[in-house]
Amino acid sequence: MGFLNLKPSAASVISFTWLCLFACESTEPLRIVHNLDTLNTNVDQPYRTAYHFQPHKNWMNDPNGPMFYKGYYHLFYQYNPQGPIWGNIVWGHSVSQDLVKWSSLDAAIVPSEWYDIGGCWSGSATFLQGGKPVILYTGNTNASQQVQNMAVPKNLSDPLLREWVKIPENPIIVPERGMDTKNFRDPTTGWFESVDMKWRIVVGSLEGSRGMALLYKSTDFIKWEKTKHPLHSSESSGMWECPDFYPVHVSGKQGLDTNIVGSSVKHVMKASLGERGYDYYSVGSYLVDGDIFVPDRGSQDDELDLRYDYGKFYASKTFFDVSKNRRVLWGWVTEFDSQSDDIMKGWAGLQGIPRTIWLDDSSKMNLMQWPVVEVESLRGNKTVKNNTVLKSGEVVEIYGVTSAQVDVEVLFDLQRMKIAEFEEMDANATARELCSNIGVSHKGVVGPFGLLVLASNDLTQYTAVFYHIISHQTKLKLLMCSDQRRSSTLKDFNKTTYGSFVPLNHPKKIVSLRVLVDHSIVESFAEGGKSCITSRVYPTSTDLHLYLFNNGSSTILCRQLNAWNMKTTNNVY
């Protein structure tokens, strides 16, 4: 069966109220409303990023409702306009024409009614008939209950979508009797099915310790009815925050509209598990007739299941970018310093580099992720260092780069490795535990080898991003680690070590690594995007360097290294 990209009729979607709201179009010229507030100028700002997205000041968390509309990318996000700690949450709003350079607008949705006076929390955007965008979001009511609400653009002719109107029918979904009213939030992007000519959305929920993606149906996108069973759920996972549900093509990198189903399509069910602080996902089949998702393996209640990112990355949201036929992933990256530090510097939180996401052709079970191609437009002066032999214990500096603001791509040649030489690691240990136990100073057979970033000249400070090839559970595995234990002399922030296993098909002898460094964030991509680790670090040295290193007993050849100085985006606020 081929793809079914089904569009409902206008009559099945838009109510009389909506027609009145959508009719309010004008020809007002474009005008971006800048936030002219300044940062805390009394504090040095060494940890502000240069090319990652973050508001000019104050608190930011979840990305919300990303979309492409009339030539502009829109990113909404949870934002506190009153300070750098969580609270007073509104929908911040910024626009871009390239996903790199952003301009901020006035807040899109702010608390104003009984059904959202306690905060306008996370949600999603959906395009209805005629390409008309709508937003679903969670409101915290005056009774501290969570309900789902809707907002529509006031002026569809405005490509910046500067003003949004809450519909009179709000709240459109309320928790049923017996449901946990404080754990009922974050509606997904809607999709339409021809089986019953109804729209569907998912809302995250909790029943005891069971996390759930509750499924709701509607013929008009206003009146919703909960199905008898969730789309998917898992025991002992805790609350499912910010669920996301979307199709991926079984072959190729092209993205798919959320409405598409077919025999050449898999679906992704993702949930942010607050008790663990990570985003888990499963790839599987969406059975439309039964309204159920069946994962190909594991589920969100499996500690060893798949994650978008094995570091600091949460509350993610994807959208289908119709302009380039791709699915793009955004993720919130939190701070690791103290709340008092955030108050002093005047801001907290940023967004990871947006990533193109697709299904891994080799496994059909895990996703690939890669920085959107537009990021490469920020590449400046290039440093090349090829065929560098790294003997045991060697550290080689990469000159000619601005080490606090750099994009590095490396190919390591492992031609000399022999499978009989690999050391056996604790079969019961997770990748993170192995990275913590091994560390960068461990002298293995093949590894650790990789990069030292944001490193001081005397190597008393650095963040190590490295590989180690090991035998684990009788299998050859590529272990990827991001070790922050020596990243700073500051003592009041978490210096967690992260790790993941990267799919490695022996006897492959070339492994790749890409690392984006931006002052206080390090994003690492293994093997073309098979695994990702994001870290937040706060180096105290002002003289920062970039190094290649090998601490294993086997000689490693760095076949190719390309490093680019990254330009500052000069975002407009």
Determine the Cα–Cα distance for residues 517 and 371; give it in Å rounded to an integer: 13
Look up 62 and say whether it is catalytic.
yes
Q: Judge if 404 and 513 occupy the same domain.
A: yes
Determine the Cα–Cα distance for residues 556 and 469; give it in Å rounded to an integer: 12
Using the 3D structure, point to which of 371, 392, 426 is the last residue of a domain: 371
Q: Would 456 be classed as within a structural domain?
A: yes
Distance of CA 355 to the CA centre of its chain: 8
pLDDT of residue 417: 61
Please identify every stretch of the chain with a pLDDT value under 70, giving residue numbers as ranges.
1-38, 41-42, 298-304, 416-422, 505-508, 572-573
Determine the Cα–Cα distance for residues 342 and 159; give it in Å rounded to an integer: 34
Q: Judge if 132 and 192 occupy the same domain.
A: yes
The conformation of residue 568, written as its DSSP 8-state character, comes to P
DSSP secondary structure of 471-533: EETTEEEEEEEEE-TTS-S--SS---EEEEEE---TT--EEEEEEEEETTEEEEEETTTTEEE
Q: Is residue 296 within 8 Å of 286, Cβ to Cβ?
A: no
Q: Judge if 365 and 391 occupy the same domain.
A: no
pLDDT of residue 423: 72
Catalytic residue among 37, 44, 62, 196: 62
Q: Judge if 327 and 180 occupy the same domain.
A: yes
Q: Judge if 343 and 214 occupy the same domain.
A: yes
CA distances 470 to 285, 333, 477, 529, 560, Å, are: 33, 30, 5, 20, 23
Q: Would 30 be classed as within a structural domain?
A: no
Indicate which CATH number applies to the domain containing 408. 2.60.120.560
Q: Judge if 115 and 215 occupy the same domain.
A: yes
pLDDT of residue 391: 94
Q: Judge if 107 and 210 occupy the same domain.
A: yes
Short-list 533, 509, 510, 511, CA closest to 522: 533
Per-residue pLDDT tens over the stretch 303-355: 457 999 999 999 999 999 999 999 999 999 999 988 999 999 999 999 999 99
Q: Judge if 367 and 384 occupy the same domain.
A: no
Count up the domains in the chain and report the number. Answer: 2
pLDDT of residue 450: 98
Q: Judge if 352 and 423 occupy the same domain.
A: no
Q: Would 516 be classed as within a structural domain?
A: yes
pLDDT of residue 10: 36
Residue 204: phi, psi to the nearest 5? -70, 145
The conformation of residue 551, written as its DSSP 8-state character, comes to -
Q: Would 44 be classed as within a structural domain?
A: no
Q: Would 156 be classed as within a structural domain?
A: yes
Per-residue pLDDT tens over the stretch 34-78: 443 567 766 789 999 999 999 999 999 999 999 999 999 999 999
Indicate which CATH number applies to the domain containing 148. 2.115.10.20
Determine the Cα–Cα distance for residues 316 and 333; give it in Å rounded to an integer: 10
Residue 252 exposure: Cα atoms within 13 Å on the Cβ side:
9
Give the pair of three-digit tokens for residue 187.
């509606």
Q: Would 362 be classed as within a structural domain?
A: yes
Q: Judge if 127 and 272 occupy the same domain.
A: yes
The conformation of residue 11, written as its DSSP 8-state character, comes to G
Q: Judge if 401 and 519 occupy the same domain.
A: yes
In which domain, by residue range, is 232 found?
56-371
Using the 3D structure, point to which of 346, 371, 396 is the last residue of a domain: 371
pLDDT of residue 503: 77
Q: Judge if 346 and 407 occupy the same domain.
A: no
Please report, to the nearest 10 degrees, the dihedral formed by the alpha carbons of residues 374, 379, 383, 386 taken in order: 0
Using the 3D structure, point to which of 371, 394, 409 is the last residue of a domain: 371
Q: Would 2 be classed as within a structural domain?
A: no
Q: Would 532 be classed as within a structural domain?
A: yes
